[in-house]
Chain A
Amino acid sequence: MAGVSDTTLTTDGLSAPIGNDGRVLIIACGALAREILALIELNKWTHMALTCLPANYHLYPDKITDAVEAAVIKHRPNYAEIFIAYADCGTGGLLFDKCKELGVQMIKGPHCYSFFEGNDVFAKTSEDEITAFYLTDFLVKQFDAFVWKPMGLDRHPELRDMYFGNYTKLVYQAQVNDPALDAKAAEISKKMGLPLERRFTGYGDLAVALAAL
């Protein structure tokens, strides 16, 4: 995993599972790979293996449900249990319905900003924060590939305020304490023209969901 770049996790995911003792396989979004591996290592969850779908499916959420289904079908014969490390992630309930149909569990909540902060806390605060643009560690690292370039802002920076004009702040939800990421988040905030608020969330409900497996 050390050799897998964030760019690869964005565009290709992680097709060959890491860890393979046949017990629990986590099929995750590439944006969660490093966090899940950190939790596995920290907690010595040696019964868990991990495979990831490309993180950039979030740019086209309609791809997520079919891709998750295909991955479940592919890996099911080799594992006793499969867990889907996605929240709803813009699928509008379709992923939840598919997971139910496949008989697999997934992470609760609308998206990773919610479960990193804790779904209950996020549900209470998000109504007052509709003008917040959220970033996680992964998104800070992959901001250009995930946000800036797909929106054409590398070619047309003059569009910035058409995209972000209604936002009032950038919330960086930090999963780990890393000064390099803090510096990158500060750069992004300047680029977006939004004041930065850093919140250390740790792994939030992701840790809770995986601990139950």
Chain B
Amino acid sequence: MRFNTIELRKRKRLSKSIKKKVFQKNKKKISLLLLTLLITFTVFTIETEAFYISNNLENRYTLDLENTETYDALTILNCKIEEGFANSILYINPYLNYNYQDEDLDFGIEEAYVDLYFTDVDLRIGKQQITWGKADGLVVTNLVNPRDYTRYPIFEYEEQFQAVNAVKTNYYFGSDSLELIWLPEFQPALIDSDLIAANLEGFKIDNTNIEIETKLENSELLMRYSSLGYDYDYELIAGYIWDDQVTFHNKISIPPDNHPFMTIIPEHHRLMVVGGSFSTIQGSFVLRGEGTYTIGKHYNINSKDIMEYKDGVVEKELFKWLAGIDYNYQGYQFSYQLLQEAILDYEDSIEQDQFTYQMTFMVKKPFFRETMDTELSFYYDTVQEQLMVKPKIVYDYSDQINFSLGANYQLEGQRKDDVLYFSTEYLF
């Protein structure tokens, strides 16, 4: 399935033939925002031990290099409010986005949770992001939060993941810890539904099975044991989770008129995952590794063999691993990562290749006493068959104001998602 983000975004805008005034269109959202702020400030004026608020006002402009036109123009207000009590912290991170292209005001809560601290136990309840693993930008063991594929380009690492409602418990034993996570409700990966519809044009789609009902037996459980040591740090993980991405089952129907047609039935499947990660130092090099073994992964069959498999899918086991190396030389930071996915007991009828690879290479260097960060990274993906280069410069004009300039440019590949972006950020 080939997605072209830029083309689909344009089609969405053109389809909006009626443009309403900002205030009338977003009246409900503005009212909800004001109500939330009122409640938040009322609650947070209760006397506490510590109160901290940090706001981030950012303007982002993204230019579509292919068509030399505006791809996106956003203003984002992000607030992080933290209130400390005797043995607990209340944290809320609301945001407000205004999209100039769509004239759309979006308000939401990025994270909101309470932390409770006991002697050797921490408890976090609420909407949160949880990061596992040693990889940068690639996902192997970082399985808790589902991806958000609708965001493009990615400005901050956390933007590619969605926060989830979870109960997280940590037990501490010296430098080791055991983390248990319960996700009571399933949250799928966020993919632009118009993108899917465009790629499945011509087929009938049955979404009956796509929803996962919120009930105890449908909840997700994950566990992580981590340790910091002299020779190496490591994590061991296990999870009983849902596949965040759907598998498209195919049902062939032959009606009385003998004209067969295919119905696409998207479904999520249960996965069992075990794995781990580690990092260690060898001289000036930092070596990192991750690996997972997954049971329950489903794959589509190619069209010529589709009739030989029930629903046109097959269940296989997956082994995924990553190796990374970091090196610092006279202030230049080099980082290389290689990720491989290997479908075990492979059959040639499977649409996806048995082995797929992703690679990243990055060089970073700060200048002018770390007021300017420069970064040049390359990303190669055998599934999308693309080689992308991502240069980026971030300049700290002051401790409150910074500017970013970057680009995502394809050197090879069929997708044309080349963009140039610029942002200004004010912290207060």
Partners in one complex: no
